[in-house]
Amino acid sequence: MKKFRGKISSTQRDILMWMWNNLILISKEKLTSSGSEKFLDDTDFLIPWTPNDSFNLDLKKDKNRYSRSLKTLEERGYLIRKRSGQRGAIAYVSFTRDGIFVVKTWARIVDSGEEDEFNNFDDLEKGYERQDSDSNEVWEREEEFY
């Protein structure tokens, strides 16, 4: 059963879509490679985490916001952060299967022109996970019973 994971902020969505665009570039390189390179499974692709360059961050508060958003996405199961060393900074990020599912759904909604119909990803941003973009059905939020 799918779970309610919490609302996705615009910063978190920016991170996920940035990762998706990088994954697409890596996948294209994989398709056009000569075959001598060794590639990992799609979910194991490591994307260099360079927020200052990737998102044009100058202010410390912006860097902190992206850092917190990245940690939240990992806690919710959308991505995995990889450090350069045990105590080093975050060097790479990679998707989990759930993270790939969410960004593929977003990409299909945008590419198919359904974006307006779904209020700019409103259901996903509120944390409701859709089965697929061809269905109007959304997963209902589970109520907690005490």
Q: What is the CATH number of the domain that holds 93?
A: 1.10.10
> What is the pairing mode between strands 90-95 and 47-48?
antiparallel
For residue 91, the enclosing domain spans: 10-31+39-125
Residue 69 domain flag: yes
Please write the tens of the pLDDT for every residue from 93-141: 888 887 888 788 777 776 776 655 555 555 565 555 544 444 444 444 4
Distances 67 to 4, 80, 93 between C-alpha atoms, Å = 22, 13, 12
Domains: count for the chain: 1
Residue 141 domain flag: no
Residue 137 domain flag: no
Residue 77 domain flag: yes
Top mean-pLDDT range of 1-5, 61-65, 112-116, 118-122:
61-65
Q: What are the φ/ψ torsions at residue 13 (nearest 5 degrees)?
A: -65, -40
Residue 145 domain flag: no
Residue 17 domain flag: yes
Residue 99 domain flag: yes
For residue 89, which amino acid is it?
A
Which tokens go with 14? 């920016």
Which pLDDT belongs to residue 72?
A: 92
Using CA atoms, how far apart are residues 51 and 70, in angstroms rounded to an integer? 10
Q: Is 12 left (phi over 0), alpha (psi -120 to 50) or beta?
A: alpha
Is the pTM of the predicted complex or chain greater than 0.75? no
Which pLDDT belongs to residue 146?
A: 36
Which tokens go with 35? 């075959």
The closest alpha carbon to 61, from 69, 53, 49, belongs to 69
DSSP string spanning 71-118? HHHHHTTSEEEEESSSSS-EEEEEE-HHHHHHHHHHHHHHHHT-TTTT
Mean pLDDT, rounded, for 63-81:
91
Please write the tens of the pLDDT for every residue from 24-50: 887 776 666 665 555 555 446 788 888
Residue 74 domain flag: yes
Which pLDDT belongs to residue 6?
A: 74
